[in-house]
Amino acid sequence: GIEAGTKAYNESDFERAIDEWRTCVDNGMADADLYYNLGNAYFRNGNLGFSIFYYKQALRLRANDDDIQHNLKYAQAMTKDKVDEDEEENPILATLFNVHHALSLKAQLFVLLVIFWIIAFVFIARRLVAGERNKNICTGVVFALSIVFCVVGASAAYKVIVLETDITGVVTAKDADVTSAPSDNSQTLNTLSEGTSFEVLGIQGNFAEIRLGEKVKGFVKLSEVGIVK
């Protein structure tokens, strides 16, 4: 159980901690702290692929957790396969990216609710205030808040879509061959090392169709990877 796994982890018996916590997962327990602890145990036990897999599982449940993000980045920095990122980063896109990830989906929905009521209040105030200047100020405030509302709303909508449709995977074996077709007899196109993350396009039998950057696309055995859902 949870307590037995914690006791084993504190005693540096990471294999037993993994066994105890994996039993909890196999019994249907889905908890960010459990996944995070499993990631730590696998990392301390030298299993980079499974550590990244469970950090990603934890982050899916608690997207803004600094500890999970830090440990995931630290583990990913130790992987061998890297996606080419030679293009110069656009500062405007970088700012929007940071804003998009600054708030959780729950926080964004709360912000949208607050902005909605502020807009409603200002709209009513515009009809009550006297003077054209005051009415124009109210109009400007409504316009500015409407832009913010649309930006935050678009970000929240994207996160909802990603949560429902986006599937990623991690190589949990020492390496995984990327083949041209979902078959043991197909041609090997690439080999991904342990801990490499990729996009999952679909599942075909015992294989996952994957994509990594612009250069790597093919099929990997499900027995050699973990699918983050």
* pLDDT tens-place string over residues 212-223: 888 889 999 999
Question: Euclidean distance between the first and final Cα of the chain, in Å?
Answer: 23
Q: How far is CA 25 from the centre of its chain?
A: 19
Residue 162 has what pLDDT? 56
Which pLDDT belongs to residue 79? 86
CA pair distance 164, 202, nearest whole angstrom: 14
Which pTM does this prediction carry?
A: 0.67
pLDDT, the chain, mean: 86
Residue 35: how many CB atoms within 10 A of its CB? 25
Whole-number Å distance between alpha carbons of 220 and 229? 17
Closest CA to 174 of 159, 190, 189, 192: 192
DSSP secondary structure code for residue 222 in this structure: G
Residue 165 pLDDT greater than 60, yes or no: no
**pLDDT, average across residues 36-48:** 95
Looking at residue 161, its pLDDT comes to: 61
Q: Which residue has the higher pLDDT, 190 or 166?
A: 190
Distance in angstroms (rounded) separating the CA atoms of residues 198 and 176: 12
pLDDT in tens, 19-40: 999 999 999 888 999 999 999 9
Structure confidence by residue, pLDDT tens digits, 68-109: 999 999 999 988 765 444 444 456 655 666 665 566 667 788
